Every structure is written in structure tokens, then in C-alpha cells.
Amino acid sequence: MTADAIVRAIGLPDSALVNQRVPKKMLVENGAPTAADKRRINDGIEEIHWLAALKPNTIGVPEYSDNVREYLEIALLAVTLRSEAKAGRLAELIHRAIPYPLFLILVQGDQIILSLTHKRRAQNEADKFVLDGDCVEVTASGNASLSAELIGQFLDALALGKQPSTSLLQLYQGWIDTVVALQASQISGTFSKTITRDAAIARREAVQMCLDLEARIASLRNVAAKEKQMGRRVELNLEIKGLEGELAEVKGTL
């Protein structure tokens, strides 16, 4: 899979395509709150391409604005990262630097990482926007847990014509739900889009719970492997068994 394959899967009209390079200087000036973050951008990013601008006059989906959010445009960006770069932190910095909600494609070696997150108005500065929640990210290529069949179903589901079209906000939420569906498919082995907003929220919570449980289990296994006292090792293994039971139960809901 490539960034171009994702753009083709979305099926954007020519009017939305931009295909311009973006200087790293813009990210450094707008999205790097610390000197360390400036170095991350300069050292970790190879190049940035602005692929498309999704606006009412380019894709026919109305804008959205209220007291909390303003979705006048969705920007589609492809960013090539160097091998040593920390993709998660750089994704967050890029989202912060661009004033519009982003459909962000990170290319790092053979990996394609997709990252999306909502934005809202800053509470004390009406003309500024901040991230609203954590970034929703998935490694869509170079991921051993995803079969070619799952990737094909995901690409098909990304199509612009299969997303909500009542507003740019709903369109963006549709893509977030599609990415969460791919996250869930890594765990369940099947890909399916949710039908209702409540179901989508429940799935995202279940996916996050699975990730948290897996991280806890991995941490406890490391501790148990190093534990010399048999009694304590037994306690840790029992705790691991309990968490594995919880994990299996949550997986069953996906």
C-alpha cells in the first residue's frame, strides 16, 4: 500500500487535489512548542506533501461550525518520516500545526500509518484550535496482523461516497470510525463498519481497552520472568490469567 493507493481508494475529484510540497519550516514555527520538538521535526521528517483540500466547493460536502468546532476544510497530507523518527509524537505535532482537521498519512519505510483527530476551539482564544482527544492511529501497511483481505475491505470502506455527507464534521467522523474498524480487525480478524454512532463509540472504547489490557499483560509477563520468589511469581501469573480473561471478553464484543 502507498499514499497514492489511499488517495485512489478515497476517490477524490480532481478539483480537490493540490499536490504541493509543504516546507518543514511551517511546522517548526506553528507546531513545535519546545526546542526538542523543533529537533524532532527537523530530524524526523523527510518531506511533506499536501495532497488534497476537501472543501464544500471541491467535494460538495457542507462545512460545519458551532461554538465548539469549525470544519471549513479537511486537509489530506502525506509525510515521509526518517527511519529513526517517533511517528506518534510527530503525528501529534503535525496535527497541532495545521489549522484544519487532517487526514494524515505517515510513510516510514514499508509502514503506512494513518492518523486522525478532532479539533475544537481553544477555550480562551476563539481564533485558535486545539486537539480534541487522542489521535486515532493505525498502521495500515507493514503490519503483520492485517491480511490483504482486511486491507482491501478497509480501502473499499474509505471511499468518499461511503462516508456521511451531511457536513465535513460528519465526513471526518466517518473516516475516524473506518480507521477504528481497521484497529478492531487487527484484534477480531474481521472488518466491519458500525451502523450507529453509539456502536462506533463502544467499539473505540473496546479497542482502547484491548490495547490497555495487552500492555498490562506484557508488562506483568516481563516482571514475572524476572521474579525470583516463587510465591510472587504465582501471584503475577494469576493476575495475568485474570487479565487474559478480561481481554478475551472484550475481544468478543468487537
> How do residues 12-40 score in pLDDT, each as one tens digit?
999 999 999 988 888 888 767 788 888 88
pLDDT of residue 46: 92
pTM of this prediction?
0.85
Task: Answer whether residue 241 shows pLDDT above 80.
Answer: yes
What is the tens place of the pLDDT at every residue in 114-135?
A: 999 999 888 777 677 888 888 8
Domain ranges of the chain: 3-191, 194-254
- What is the rounded average pLDDT of the residues 69-81? 94
| Cα distance between residue 12 and residue 9, in whole Å | 8
Task: Answer whether residue 171 shows pLDDT above 90.
Answer: yes
Task: Answer whether residue 97 shows pLDDT above 90.
Answer: no
In our burial notation (b when 16+ CB lie closer than 10 A, e otherwise), range 179-196 reads: bbbbbbbbbbeebebbee
Task: Answer whether residue 53 shows pLDDT above 90.
Answer: yes
- Integer Rg of the chain from CA: 20
